[in-house]
Amino acid sequence: MTEMRAGLYLGERTVAADKVAKPVAGEGEALIRIAYAGICGTDMMIYFGKHPRARAPLAMGHEFSGVIEEIRGASSFAPGDRVVIEPTLSCGECEACAAGQFHVCKTLRLIGIDQSGGFAEYAAVPLHRLHRIPDKLSDIHAAVTEPVAVAVHTVRRSNLKLGDNVVILGAGPIGLLTALVARQGGAHQIIISDISPYRLEKAKQLGFTVLDAKHASVTDEVASLTGGVGADIVFEVAGNQITAKQMIETVKIQGQIVVVSVFKQAPTIDLAAMHFREISLTTTRCYSNDDFKKAIVLMRDGTIDVSPIISHLLPLEQIHEGFHLMEDSNASLKVLFQL
């Protein structure tokens, strides 16, 4: 077979399923027959024509699992192994890579953004980007490893301590996964705000305190829930001017803000308000290899259950419907394609 099915980004707000050439694994690569692939917020940025690097036509998708069909090069893996792909591609030479911080490589690239990814029947992937899927972990759950790794990295970057009160601004997949990881990390009270009734209901079902930001003052409600003190840690996961303001208003004196979002427009930040209360600001990017491995272990052991995060499972031929669902926060969380 020289052709395969692929879901392609063709231009702003334009995606379609089509036939493309099947990739050939080069030396040091494995050919993966893809099982499941998820739509991420970055894929939405590409879909809207806002990503600075992605170029059409492109098979997007950097959250995916599959089975090895062919291997080129020495490896502990073998054809038939179930694998999940860690999609980051670092240069190995810059100062960050030299320090072992490959996830903040100066020229970091990603499978599914800078090269063909998981919205296809097959993908050629570097051998060192493969992780074996444990027997206890399903292919469909393994496909959500990447966002779980983001949440693991996010909580690791924080100063979370046993008994801390946490606020999470944004109840999307990353916000909910961050809440799940923070709960396992010892957080006492986890408060999640959003404007989507659908996503807030999901958060409530998961056992978190929810705030409807459309009908209540998040700042006032957090103050009430924390005895007027504020949160020990605020995770900003919505990426807009409103939450950029709220993150400063809801954190306690000498508390910590962790910015997870990639803001599409630079927000205005009240640094004076942060200065006088000695608020710490931390940012995050992607995840390390250790974070990715930890995410697999957390799912394998049942410590983190991603089932509630997966809202839709569609065939690749419905790629347009998948992206349409992801545009509506009242209709979806994580949309996966079954290949």
Mind listing the pLDDT tens digit for each residue in 5-48? 999 999 999 999 999 999 999 999 999 999 999 999 999 999 99
Residue 1 has pLDDT above 70, yes or no: no
Mean pLDDT for the chain?
97
The residues with which 31 forms a beta bridge, in sequence order, are 70, 124
pLDDT at 308: 96
Mean pLDDT, to the nearest integer, of 148-168?
A: 98
Burial 192-229 (b: 16+ CB within 10 A, else e): bbbbbeebbebbeebebbbbebeeeebbebbbebbeee
Domain boundaries 159-283, CATH class: alpha beta
**Does residue 184 have a pLDDT over 90?**
yes
- Binning pLDDT at 50, 70 and 90, where does residue 294 land? very high
Residue 41's H or E segment, with its range, is helix 41-47
Q: How many residues are listed for the chain in this entry? A: 339
- Banded model confidence at residue 264, pLDDT cuts 50, 70, 90: confident
pLDDT bracket for residue 254 (50, 70, 90): very high
User: Which residues are bridge partners to 36 per DSSP?
Assistant: 65, 338
Where in the sequence of the chain do the CATH 3.40.50.720 domains occur? 159-283
Strands 88-89 and 109-110: antiparallel
According to the model, what pLDDT value does residue 86 have?
98
CA distance 7 to 318: 9
Q: What are phi and psi of 64, to 5 degrees?
A: -155, 155
Q: Which fold has domain 3-144+306-338?
A: Quinone Oxidoreductase; Chain A, domain 1 (3.90.180)
Distance CA 88, CA 96 (A): 14
Q: Which ranges in the chain are annotated with CATH 3.90.180.10?
A: 3-144+306-338
pLDDT band at 336 (very low <50, low <70, confident <90, very high): very high
- Within 13 Å, how many C-alpha atoms sit on residue 264's CB side? 11
Per-residue pLDDT for 316 more than 80? yes
